[in-house]
Amino acid sequence: MNSASGKWEKRWHPLREEWVVYSAHRNTRPWHGAPPVESQPMPAYDPTCYLCPGNKRVNHQSNPHYSDIFIFENDLPVVSFSAPDIPVEQTIGLYRKARATGVAKVICYDPRHNVTLAQMKQDAVYKVFRAFRQEMTELSKIPEIRYVHIFENKGQAVGVSNPHPHCQLYATDFVFKFVEQQLAVAEKYRSNHQRNIYEDIIRQEQLDEIRIISENEYAISFLPFFARYAYETLIFPKKHHASLITLTDYELEGLTAVFHETVRKMDMNFNTDFPYVMSVMQAPVDGLSYPEFRMHLWLQPPYRQPGLIKYLAGPEIGGGNFMADTMPEDKAAELRAQDAKKYPFEK
């Protein structure tokens, strides 16, 4: 057998319908764990932060002295009902343009400037997830809104300038690309196999077991067989839900627990605030039903080793396919080895 066996192969990404190439045989550095990271201690309150309680924002309004979660409409929104008016979609040859309609909000998780979801207590994280569900319920009632994208960019490594714990939400009159793609792929899978694609992925991960990071009665997280980023993780409620709106409190609490354990393990594995882009993947909220789509949380951390970012380059930017130099099983094993009950960074 070739010594690179199991370390050098391509794998099919069923949700994106594309190949991911793994070449971990080139990555000779063995994993010995991450050295402690000396990070600059941050204050719990930063007078220059536009998200801290009581501080002024760019529109000269002051934030309230909030005690847990604070949600407001972005002062410099990407999409808004007050965007320049283009009454009907305009077509110029093959080019089209329309109004950038929508709602853009900021959701602050905590009044403290220097905490993260991983560091916060699980009850507080559950409150944040309840706020997500509440926003979904409210925004889905606005007729013009077809889709809501909730996302958190965490850490300087993904370009965040303000460390205050927060995420953003874009509610739009169009459906974001990856959700649209997954909807089409899931429909096709149903007609080809008479099964749900997400159910089959979850079942396969449970059978293989070695890539599961956290699991309880209500939810499961795993570093999938087809991960593009070294520590990319999917988190699903175990019951079928197209969006957060239909999750019961028990299910939402279970999802919170699995998410919380997962991000704590990520912190522990690198001995640091582990950066990521988190996306809450949900079906459109346009009144139609999407029985094949299953909501999930999608974590895409940029690091592949301590201090080493996965930069997208020729194959990814220019060609559109990912080249990974680590195996999902190896990275999952690192996270599985962490005991989140011993998490040392709780605040």
For residue 52, state whether it binds Zn ion (rule: CB under 5 A): yes
For residue 113, state whether it binds Zn ion (rule: CB under 5 A): yes
For residues 304 and 287, give the distance between their C-alpha atoms in angstroms, rounded to a whole number: 40
For residues 222 and 212, give the distance between their C-alpha atoms in angstroms, rounded to a whole number: 4
The residue (of 34 and 49) whose beta carbon lies closer to Zn ion is: 49
The interface region with Zn ion, picked from 40-48, 178-186, 205-213, 219-227 by CB under 5 A, is 40-48
The residue (of 52 and 179) whose beta carbon lies closer to Zn ion is: 52
For residue 332, state whether it binds Zn ion (rule: CB under 5 A): no
Give the interface size with Zn ion as a residue count (CB under 5 A).
6
Q: How many C-beta neighbours within 10 Å does residue 153 have? A: 16
The residue (of 44 and 184) whose beta carbon lies closer to Zn ion is: 44
The interface region with Zn ion, picked from 41-49, 59-67, 188-196, 213-221 by CB under 5 A, is 41-49
The interface region with Zn ion, picked from 111-119, 202-210, 255-263, 286-294 by CB under 5 A, is 111-119
Please count the residues of the chain.
347
For residue 42, state whether it binds Zn ion (rule: CB under 5 A): no
* DSSP assignment letter at 173: S
Decide if 328 contacts 223 (C-beta within 8 A): yes
Tell the burial category of 324 from Cβ atoms under 10 Å away from its Cβ (0-12, 13-18, 19+). Answer: buried
- Rounded least distance, CB 51 to Zn ion, Å: 5
Beta bridge partners, 170, equal 104, 149
Name the nearest CA neighbour of 68 among 129, 159, 158, 149: 129
- Rounded least distance, CB 2 to Zn ion, Å: 53
Q: Which of residues 229-258 bind Zn ion (CB under 5 A)?
A: none
- 323-324/18-23 β-pairing: parallel
- Rounded least distance, CB 164 to Zn ion, Å: 3
For residue 49, state whether it binds Zn ion (rule: CB under 5 A): yes
Binder to Zn ion among 164, 211, 241, 296 (CB under 5 A)? 164
The residue (of 152 and 334) whose beta carbon lies closer to Zn ion is: 152
Decide if 256 contacts 126 (C-beta within 8 A): yes
Q: Which residues of 124-142 are buried (b: 16+ CB within 10 A; e: fewer)?
A: bbbbbbbbbbebbeebbee
The residue (of 109 and 290) whose beta carbon lies closer to Zn ion is: 109
For residue 34, state whether it binds Zn ion (rule: CB under 5 A): no
For residue 167, state whether it binds Zn ion (rule: CB under 5 A): no
Residue nearest to Zn ion (CB): 49
- Phi and psi at residue 214, in whole multiples of 5°? -155, 145
The residue (of 113 and 294) whose beta carbon lies closer to Zn ion is: 113
- Rounded least distance, CB 93 to Zn ion, Å: 47
Q: Which residue has the tokens 């007729």?
A: 143
Decide if 243 contacts 179 (C-beta within 8 A): no
Contacts of residue 22, defined as CB under 8 A and 6 or more positions apart, other chains included, come to 7, 8, 9, 10, 11, 324, 325, 326, 327, 328
For residues 165 and 152, give the distance between their C-alpha atoms in angstroms, rounded to a whole number: 9
Binder to Zn ion among 15, 20, 24, 51 (CB under 5 A)? 51
- Rounded least distance, CB 170 to Zn ion, Å: 22
The residue (of 113 and 310) whose beta carbon lies closer to Zn ion is: 113
- Write the single-letter amino acid at 242: A
Beta bridge partners, 277, equal 153, 300
Binding-residue pattern over the window 198 to 227 for Zn ion, x denoting contact by CB under 5 A: ------------------------------
Q: Which spans of this chain sit near Zn ion (rule: CB under 5 A)?
A: 46, 49, 51-52, 113, 164
